[in-house]
């Protein structure tokens, strides 16, 4: 255990959640005494309880309650996890809400004794990963997420915060156990035989080759070191397409419980790596070549556009720095480093989803094992090419070209 849990803490159930809601003064403008209140537990993530709660006669009056469990839900109480992550998430949501309110769910309150946040129910939005699996496109996503990344990463960096605030913020967001999950699941376990790995046996030859690739290990070690030591900006820390809710008009970023001060490229890479996993999955998910090409074009255009928007929206940060301290050549080198980090971290995020404990529906949800192996093989080839090729990348189009130039190795020949 990580310290003691509050004596008031009890995991909510569908039987207790309604009384809890009625007890909260912050919710009196949403739910009235006369209401019949209904609730369902909908958490399908790896860690927490999530309840949707609504008034029976007016389902538009609705909220979500997210409560931390003291262990990893995916595995059980053999893997304890600090409930302090709920505080981290609430404080990150507060910052995101200030910087990009249009992309952050409204928070009604945080209960520090129940490790629970009450927030807007994004009822009209879908987890982006589910939409991408279906081949749905989101025309505003690139602009929205590019802006989200520029604002949240730029405004929390040393380029904007004063020296003291930045260091106090780094301290406030120290998140060791959640970072340790990332360090192990993303930077360690996929590259060795490990009991927590979960790849399907058909892909084993390619996994074993990757696990024997010493040059790859050196690159991953480099990225791990950067993840652990570069307190560049306040990261979301887990910005995959399961942490994004979308519809045709809007984009919301949820679930920043892995937030900490780390390298910007980790968040940008998470988005791009997951878009590339979707790209790989449609090698088999979309059988019609014309449809496949169109959807993949959407994915690659999105990657290019989100980076361009990120750079454009980051420009006001550069416009405000002292040009003697940070001349244009430094600024360009900084952005190039972020781009190369993006490629490397995105690639590590792809490999972990194929080999490691927590997979993603895009790939692991493919039922036919041959199809799944093709998509997994392509994902791994894209990821290895990106990790190894990232030092030469100077433009986002080059990142896309490296990834889209790959083919699956499966089925094996010879």
Residue 72, contacted partner among Mg ion, ligand SR1, none, CB below 5-8 A by kind: ligand SR1
Among residues 255, 267, 361, 362, the one that binds Mg ion under rule CB under 5 A: 255
Residue 267 makes contact with Mg ion by CB under 5 A: no
- Round to whole Å and give the CA distance between 145 and 168: 27
Exposed (0-12), middle (13-18) or buried (19+): which is 3, by Cβ within 10 Å?
exposed
Nearer to ligand SR1 among residue 61 and residue 349 (C-beta): 349
**Helix 369-389 vs helix 264-285: crossing angle, to nearest 10:** 150
Encoded one letter per residue, x for contact with ligand SR1 by CB under 6 A and - for no contact, window 232-261 reads ------x-----------------------
Within 13 Å, how many C-alpha atoms sit on residue 23's CB side?
7
End-to-end alpha carbon distance in the chain: 51
Query: Which positions from 352 through 391 interact with ligand SR1, judged by CB under 6 A?
Result: 358
Residue 72 makes contact with ligand SR1 by CB under 6 A: yes
- Round to whole Å and give the CA distance between 296 and 150: 25
Residue 212 makes contact with ligand SR1 by CB under 6 A: no
Nearer to Mg ion among residue 50 and residue 385 (C-beta): 50
Encoded one letter per residue, x for contact with Mg ion by CB under 5 A and - for no contact, window 17-46 reads ----------------------------x-
Give the pair of three-digit tokens for residue 392: 């030469």
Residue 221, contacted partner among Mg ion, ligand SR1, none, CB below 5-8 A by kind: none
| Residue at shortest CB range from Mg ion | 255
Residue 404, contacted partner among Mg ion, ligand SR1, none, CB below 5-8 A by kind: none
Nearer to ligand SR1 among residue 96 and residue 166 (C-beta): 96
Residue 84 makes contact with ligand SR1 by CB under 6 A: no
- Round to whole Å and give the CA distance between 277 and 296: 11
**Rounded alpha-carbon distances, angstroms, from residue 144 to 83, 151, 195, 273:** 30, 11, 39, 17
Q: Which of 406, 279, 263, 405 is nearest to 340 (CA)?
A: 263
Residue 233, contacted partner among ligand SR1, Mg ion, none, CB below 5-8 A by kind: none
Query: Which positions from 11 through 30 interact with ligand SR1, judged by CB under 6 A?
Result: none
135 Rama class: left (phi>0) / alpha (psi -120 to 50) / beta: left
Q: Where are the alpha helices (DSSP H) in 356-395?
A: 361-364, 369-389
Applying CB under 5 A, the residues found at the interface with Mg ion are: 45, 255
Applying CB under 6 A, the residues found at the interface with ligand SR1 are: 45-47, 72, 74, 181-182, 185, 238, 358
């Amino acid at each position: 255990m990580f310290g003691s849990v509050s004596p008031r803490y009890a995991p909510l159930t569908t039987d207790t959640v309604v009384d809890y809601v009625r007890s909260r003064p912050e919710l009196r403008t949403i739910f009235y005494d006369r209401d019949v209140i209904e609730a369902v537990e909908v958490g399908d993530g790896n860690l927490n309880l999530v309840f949707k709660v609504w008034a029976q006669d007016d389902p538009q009056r609705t909220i979500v309650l997210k409560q931390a469990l003291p262990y990893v839900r995916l595995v059980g109480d053999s893997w304890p996890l600090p409930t302090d992550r709920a505080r981290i998430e609430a404080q990150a949501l507060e910052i995101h809400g200030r910087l990009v309110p249009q992309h952050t769910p409204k928070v009604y309150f945080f209960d520090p004794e129940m490790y629970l946040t009450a927030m807007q129910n994004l009822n009209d939005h879908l987890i982006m990963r589910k939409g991408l699996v279906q081949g749905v496109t989101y025309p505003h996503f690139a602009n929205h997420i590019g802006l989200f990344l520029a604002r949240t990463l730029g405004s929390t960096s040393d380029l904007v915060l004063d020296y003291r605030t930045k260091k106090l913020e780094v301290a406030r967001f120290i998140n060791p156990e959640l970072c340790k999950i990332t360090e192990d699941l993303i930077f360690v376990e996929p590259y060795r035989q490990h009991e927590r790995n979960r790849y399907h046996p058909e892909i084993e030859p390619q996994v074993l080759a990757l696990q024997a690739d010493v040059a790859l290990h050196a690159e991953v070690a480099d990225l791990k070191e950067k993840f652990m030591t570069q307190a560049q900006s306040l990261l979301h820390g887990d910005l995959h397409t399961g942490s994004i809710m979308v519809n045709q008009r809007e984009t919301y970023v949820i679930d920043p419980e892995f937030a900490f001060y780390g390298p910007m490229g980790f968040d940008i890479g998470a988005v791009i790596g997951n878009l590339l996993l979707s790209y790989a999955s449609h090698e088999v998910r979309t059988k019609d070549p014309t449809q496949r090409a169109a959807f993949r074009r959407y994915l690659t255009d999105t990657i290019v556009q989100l980076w361009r928007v990120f750079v454009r929206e980051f420009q006001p940060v550069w416009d405000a720095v002292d040009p003697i301290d940070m001349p244009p050549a430094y600024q360009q080198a900084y952005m190039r480093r972020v781009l190369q980090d993006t490629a490397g971290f995105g690639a590590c995020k792809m490999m972990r989803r194929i080999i490691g404990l927590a997979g993603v529906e895009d790939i692991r949800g493919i039922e036919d094992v041959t199809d799944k192996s093709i998509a997994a093989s392509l994902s791994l080839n894209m990821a290895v090419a990106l990790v190894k090729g990232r030092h030469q990348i100077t433009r986002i189009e080059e990142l896309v070209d490296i990834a889209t130039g790959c083919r699956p190795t499966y089925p094996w020949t010879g």
